[in-house]
Chain A
Amino acid sequence: MGLKRALTLKAASLVVVLLFVLLLTTIIIGATGISDKILNGMVQDNLRAIRQELAREIRNPEDLERALEKIKEDLIRSYGLDKPWYVRMPDMIWRIVTLDLGNSRTVVSFSGSNKISDIILERLPNTVLLMITVLIINFALSLMIGVRVATKPGSFLDRLISMYSAVSYALPTWWLGILMILVFAFYLKIFPFGGMYSTPPPVDPLVRSLDLVWHLCLPVLTLVIATSGSWIYITRSIVITTAQEDFVSIARAKGLSERIVLWRYIIRPAAPPILTNLILSLAAYLGGAILTETIFSWPGMGLLYFEAIMSVDEALILALTYMYTLIYVIARFVLEVLYVIVDPRVRYA
């Protein structure tokens, strides 16, 4: 019961976030007239398709124009272009939610469609792949190194980690990516400059996946170097704090082995605050991923952002902003559920 309530509350607050972003973006594009531009573009697209179809049936050019004029009026009405932007806002929001944002003017999906939903859905897995890989590596690293460092606070390694985390706070992920390309791709030639597969992509599934891993190395390395410092440092601090708790000395007094003490009495109770930290760093992490994709031409949504900005594609940027918020909200929720699982205090509160 308490569990459900806690999760429902979290979900509700995240939905509010999503709604807020939707409202903010639609009001802005409405008030600045950009929504008119997007909808007009959609009307034109539709009209072009209809014109080709009708041209086959109606031979007389004048009739054709007249018929098209009527269809155009219908279209304008159905898209709500005859009404002011604030009247059609609910409709607009629905359109964004369903990713029905018409076509991109410039970007085409790998399969050749220029429908925004096609483009985004095609890129989504690539972004998720990159982010999850980095997430797992960071998590493992912070546990392995953070816990080890925590047993020797003040040691050389410990100070090194503190320094590293301070420096990495000031280090832009994307610039680090540039350095990595210069060093590992340009000078050392061990990794590719970017992309996801070699051209042409290998056909054999095994070689193909190895090729993918090879291409994944540099972007993952970049993100890990840029973000792991603070993860390790925070894990270390949390573990040090937890190790000072009374229940840890009691566990030792109980004659438990160091291994049990470490896992059951230090790492396990440290999990919730570590997870909280993960939740808080998620947004920064998402931002880092957008820029890293751009640097490494990783064909995900982050690169798409860059392409959309370069070709001034308003509809695409709007859709991406929504998608990123959605990914963020979903990731947040998954982490919140995890949090509830690892921390009994929330479960019964």
Chain B
Amino acid sequence: MSKYFIEGLSEFWASKTSKMGLAFLLIIIIISMYTLFTFPLDYGTRYWNNPKYWADNPKIAMPEWINLFVGNKFLEHNILSTSTIQKMYPSGAYYIKTYEIVYDLMADQFPTFITLKFDNVTFFSRPPTIEVLVIRPDNSTINLYKFVVEPPLSTEEPPYSRYVVEPKRIMLSGEPQLSLVLSNFLLDKYNLSIDPKDVAEIGYEKVIFGEPYENGFKPLKGKYVFTTTLYARDVRDQIGTVSIVIGGQVYGLMGTDILGRDLSQGLLFGFPVALLIGIVVSVLTTIIGATLGIVSGYVGGRVDEIIQRVCDVMNNIPQLPILIFLTFIFGGKLWIIVVILVLFGWPSLVIVVRSMVLQAKSSSFIEAAISVGASRWRIMIRHVFPQVAPYILAQMIFFTPSAILAEAALSFLGLGDPSIPTWGQILEYGFRNGAVFLGYWWWVVPPGLMIVFSAITFVFIALGFEPVINPRLRRWR
């Protein structure tokens, strides 16, 4: 038997598909390990499902590498920050501090949005005023935004800290007063009279980063200097970090979804989850199925009868509707999904294992062991099990992809575990938000590819196992 098994293993090695499968598996394991070490375990709840975490990202942005394939390059996403004070001088009752950020617009595209961000503002007496203006490449200046930091409460003691936990975010595109500023700017600079309402229609980004061209605007390339001025009452007042988010059209390796989530992170996190689901479900299913199959085949009699009847019924249930029903009722927790998949997975294995055990049992070898008086359990563990073990192993590997696919299907139906991002859930969210109908391919194609990749890995390995468990096939190859 062991010789046979070793021979089978070398056969397994010789097959091209199994080598490919093992290589794929190695890739999946490495990516999963990397993900597990770099991502927190509560990634799903802490970051993935927390919209604020993704607030600075562009929404529905394509992956950056798309620029390799297009002539007219898309604008890349940019977050620029500074903490250095450029200038500082007293002016009347104020101490003025300025912070400067330079952005070089090189693409032939407009940014999709502009967000100003202020972290850690500290003041000691009266709340300071903050003002942001931009000097464009053509040396014209636009005052973008001005606000007063929230005043201290009566219970507060100086120094007063603001925007520590959560930075102050100003989405410029959503600021109504800016339309007036820009309308005036267009009139002064280009002698263009456009109603503030229409400016909002055109888009602030086009006015700030462009110049009139024919009937619209074209990007004005060059250096934009964003200057933030802090009008402080106390010399110690300061801004921790000033940031400007220049919304791009492309982002990261895999792009973003409608919430601005970096899809590459979700896809990465899907690897360990898929591997976990696949392996846990297949191992548990196999343990239950193989045990019952061996017992059923070996013990026979009433026990066999009962196990066979139960399997017969379980095998005849249409799986997906029942899985939908159960996950719907018991809720989308990952471990519940795993339990349900195991619960409805084992019967098919029992029948296969049982018939193999019956075959093994009738072999003269085992009959001899019985006649010598070896105990039932001993025969089962020492003789029957090793004979059926390779089959069981192959079945286990073959079960893994179906578990991965089943979880993906349930997730896609909206029954997944919301606290853990999976490929199925990314697809579901994309599908529900019309990604398919709007052509957001980077949102729906990669997660599916990942599912296929991880499932096919195990299919390949299982195929490599076929000649091992089926010697007739071996001879004919």
Contacts and interface: CB of A to CB of B under 8 A. Distances in A.
Interface of A: 13-14, 16-17, 20-21, 24-25, 28-29, 32, 34, 166-167, 169-172, 174-175, 178-179, 181-182, 185-187, 193, 282-284, 286-287, 290-291, 294-295, 305-306, 309-310, 314, 317-318, 320-321, 324-325, 328-329, 332
Contacts of A286: 318, 320-321
B328 A290 contact: no
B61 interface: no
17 contacts: A14-B316, A17-B317, A29-B329, A34-B329, A166-B17, A169-B455, A170-B401, A175-B451, A178-B427, A187-B439, A193-B437, A290-B324, A291-B320, A309-B413, A309-B414, A320-B321, A324-B320
A171 B409 contact: no
A264 B415 CA distance: 49
A174 B409 contact: yes
B444 A178 contact: yes
A167 B414 CA distance: 25
Given A172-B409, A172-B452, A186-B436, 5 more contacts: A16-B313, A169-B459, A170-B456, A181-B436, A295-B436
Contact of B401 (A169, A287, A295): A169
B20 to A, nearest CB: 11
Contact of A294 (B319, B321, B413, B445): B413
A66 B452 CA distance: 63
Contacts of A306: 413-414
Interface in B425-451: 427, 431, 436-437, 439, 441, 444-445, 448, 451
A28 B329 contact: yes
A290 B405 CA distance: 14
A30 B437 CA distance: 40
Contacts of A310: 414
Interface in B16-66: 17
Given A166-B459, A172-B405, A287-B318, A182 B325 contact: no
Contact of B436 (A170, A178, A305): A178
Interface residues of B, number: 41
Interface of B: 17, 312-313, 316-322, 324-326, 328-330, 401, 405, 408-409, 412-415, 427, 431, 436-437, 439, 441, 444-445, 448, 451-452, 455-456, 458-460, 463
Q: Which of B329, B459, B460 has the most CB of A within 10 A?
A: B329
A13 B316 contact: yes
B402 to A, nearest CB: 8
A283 to B, nearest CB: 5
A172 B325 contact: no
A144 B405 CA distance: 29
Contacts of A14: 316
A100 B444 CA distance: 39
Contact of A321 (B325, B444, B458, B459): B325
A287 B328 CA distance: 16
A237 B444 CA distance: 35
B200 to A, nearest CB: 30
A166 B330 CA distance: 33
Contacts of A187: 439
Contacts of B330: 32
B431 to A, nearest CB: 7
A6 to B, nearest CB: 15
Interface of A is mostly: helix
Given A34-B329, A186-B436, A287 B322 contact: no
B319 A32 contact: no
Given A13-B312, A166-B459, A318 B320 contact: no
A151 to B, nearest CB: 17
A324 B324 CA distance: 11
B413 A287 contact: no
A174 B412 contact: yes
Contacts of B321: 286-287, 290, 305, 320-321, 324-325
A170 B405 contact: yes
A271 B35 CA distance: 50
Contacts of B320: 283, 286-287, 290-291, 324
A306 B463 CA distance: 34
A16 B315 CA distance: 12
Given A306-B414, A309-B414, A328 B318 contact: yes
A295 B325 contact: no
A144 to B, nearest CB: 25
Contacts of B459: 166-167, 169-170
B417 to A, nearest CB: 15
A174 B413 CA distance: 10
B452 A171 contact: yes
B318 A172 contact: no
Nearest to A187: B439
A182 B436 contact: yes
B414 A295 contact: no
Contacts of B437: 181, 185-186, 193
Given A186-B436, A306-B413, A309-B414, A166 B316 contact: no
Contacts of B414: 306, 309-310
B358 to A, nearest CB: 20
Contact of B441 (A17, A170, A182): A182
A347 B337 CA distance: 42
A175 B439 contact: no
A32 B448 contact: no
A179 B445 contact: yes
Contact of B324 (A13, A21, A178, A317): A317
A332 B313 CA distance: 13
B427 A175 contact: yes
B427 A324 contact: no
A293 to B, nearest CB: 11
Contacts of A294: 413
A146 to B, nearest CB: 19
A317 B427 contact: no
A17 B409 contact: no
A193 B329 CA distance: 32
* Minimum-distance CB pairs A-B, first 7: A287-B320, A170-B455, A175-B448, A170-B456, A324-B321, A328-B318, A321-B325
| Most chain A CB neighbours (cut-off 10 Å) among B408, B413, B441 | B413
A305 B324 contact: yes
A169 B399 CA distance: 11
Contacts of A182: 436, 439, 441, 444-445
